[in-house]
Structure 1
């Protein structure tokens, strides 16, 4: 993190990234002294409501973050920034998005948790648009012009006021990760599953070390002591209740419960009741320390693609075991009327044997269990996500895979990722295909 004093003293000359949180109410003009080098500007967490009209003087600026400020509209000056590709204005008070605010090379737009009711038609005229984060607004419709965005891979429209998913959205050739929970259009969670979930009194839990924290909540290792069983080591997730880029954390909790039991899911032991602050939470299976994340989150540069360790390699047996496990659990979820919405390597835990667990239901959405063109399309959008994952696994197999099997698996990857959504295989077919590969291998 940098300081305004450093900036004014000229100590930051030549930097490519500036992170400035200093209670700013006005844009510091000294930032223009960095115009020859500055590529990433982070002004999140201030009290800004405007940006200067001559922002385009920052000719190298590619990424701008202004989340958690006081903007009521997306600044029109952004559209004049010729190199700008990523814009983040999460958690402001934005009600208006003028067409003039959309730069020509726009690739990644974050407008989560604002007050937006409509979006300009011109949004669909940005051919490089790849990620669009709109959860937690007041949208009743999406601009139909987005049908032209053939590179759009990830869209978050959860917690809006949408009454239907447009047919053109479900036909986008590259759409891979879709979250739409918390809209009037969504099928409700299985009430019986929610009701049947055991209730675990907060007093029966003793929190120990913190295991991790994400946008939706905090996870602790804990001990669960009940009258019916000896003390049991568990994981406790306490939800924050705030809007995330994917949607509502409480909706995530419902999806975890409704998902039920599967060998490749983290088991839910019960739902926490009587927390002193009325915080919602789940008690879950404690995962062995031998499990680790398959990949890291996408970077600013990779946009929609996970980052894998450069030296990560698998045997064919391990890679196929991971692929088979994830295909199986995705088929299971679809059978329960759930799309995961974030089927990514960074949401998969694995060990050296190829055992794996799919986690993070923050982007999960409910759909009708009955077969229809819509449910089939929603499921096959997720099949594309699996195809991307399969390609990432195949690229890292270093032994045990014959040329013939590799060609066959690469063909499966291509079929999962083909642009015609309904022509992709369902997960039932994917599971059967991988089972045959495993038996041969």
Structure 2
């Protein structure tokens, strides 16, 4: 984080990134002293409700974050920023998104947790559009023009007022990661699952909560001890709209998923939390497991960032892919899509064993018509293809079988209906892994 004092003193000369948290009500004029270098401007957590008309003077600006401010309208000046690729205005009060506010090079748009009811058709006229986060708004429909966005890969439309999924959306050739739970057409299925899930209730008072293990978009995960179950992990949901959607949707999906060797299952549902929060009890994953990759960066947009030092033998890579495919097939057979099948949601032990977690973007197949359910499963399969491609790229000590590359290509092929089922992929990958 930077300070106004540093900026005004000229200490940030040549900076490519500027982050200001200073209860700002307007953009400091001194920002323009960085016009020849500034590429990322983060003005989140201030008190802004507009941006100046001369913002395009920042002619190298590629990324702007203005989350947690007071905007009620997406500023039209953004559309005149020729280099701008990423626009993030999460958790404002935005009602209006003018067509003129969309930059010509727009690649990544974040409008999560606002008050938007409609979006302009102009959104579908941004050919580079790749990632769009719209969860937690009041959308009743999506612009039909998005059907032309052939590069769109990630879409978050959970927790809106959508009455159905449009068929054209599920035919997009590169759409891979879709979260759409928490809408009127899926609410009944989610509520029924929560009401009838067999997971036992575990009182908060029966847990010895010991340490924070991590924090995700939807909650905090703690290490805890239970008298009967020993060491466990406890996820306490935040009870807010997240980038994926509603915690209640994630909770319902976790309970619906059931047990599988490659999943991190729910073994109990929390009760009696002092703040009234909901939560889950899960087995504590051993220390030999670690996260496979980091989440996407500003540059990679939709693809995870791997440690360049990570090297896997072909046998280990194929065993990991087979395990993930088996978990995915299990979820599909349980009536779920994962929606966020990524390496950053996978734990692995380096020997081929994996654990898939994070159901924040999961959805219920019974909430849509059968033809759409088949296409939703195919989106998960495309995500599996991306993962397989990445795993093969990490192979060392030998060349991965050509058959594995062919499987990845089958998953990634643009004709959604022609992608193979997860169960067939699981069998084929397991055969290759054990050959």
TM-score, length-scaled by structure 1: 0.96
Do the aligned partners of 1:193 and 1:258 also contact (CA within 8 Å) in 2?
A: no
Residue from 215, 218, 222 that aligns with 2:224 = 222
Match of 1:243 in 2: 241
Q: CA deviation at 1:27?
A: 1.3
Q: CA deviation at 1:165?
A: 0.7
Match of 1:200 in 2: 202
Match of 1:428 in 2: 423
Match of 2:156 in 1: 156
SS at match of 1:320: helix
C-alpha separation in 1, matches of 2:163 and 2:310: 44
C-alpha separation in 1, matches of 2:66 and 2:368: 43
For structure 2, which runs of at least 5 residues remain unmatched after alignment?
none
Where do residues 37-52 of structure 1 align in structure 2 (5 Å cutoff)? 37-52=37-52
C-alpha separation in 1, matches of 2:368 and 2:4: 58
Structure 1 consecutive aligned stretches of length 4 or more whose deviation exceeds 3 Å = 192-195
Match of 2:178 in 1: 178
Q: CA deviation at 1:435?
A: 2.4
1:69 paired with 2:64, answer: no
Task: Judge which range, 362-371 or 317-326, deviates more.
Answer: 362-371
TM-score, length-scaled by structure 2: 0.97
How many correspondences in the alignment? 433
CA offsets, 1:143-198, max 9 Å, x none?
A: 00001100000000000010111111000000000000000122613538843110
Match of 1:358 in 2: 356
Do the aligned partners of 2:177 and 2:340 also contact (CA within 8 Å) in 1?
A: yes
C-alpha separation in 2, matches of 1:370 and 1:280: 27
For structure 1, which runs of at least 5 residues remain unmatched after alignment?
none
Match of 2:88 in 1: 88
Match of 1:35 in 2: 35
C-alpha separation in 1, matches of 2:407 and 2:246: 34
Match of 2:408 in 1: 413
C-alpha separation in 2, matches of 1:205 and 1:192: 22
Residue from 305, 325, 342 that aligns with 2:340 = 342
CA offsets, 1:206-262, max 9 Å, x none?
A: 11011111111111110012xxx3x61101111111111110122211111110000
SS at match of 1:64: strand
1:188 paired with 2:183, answer: no
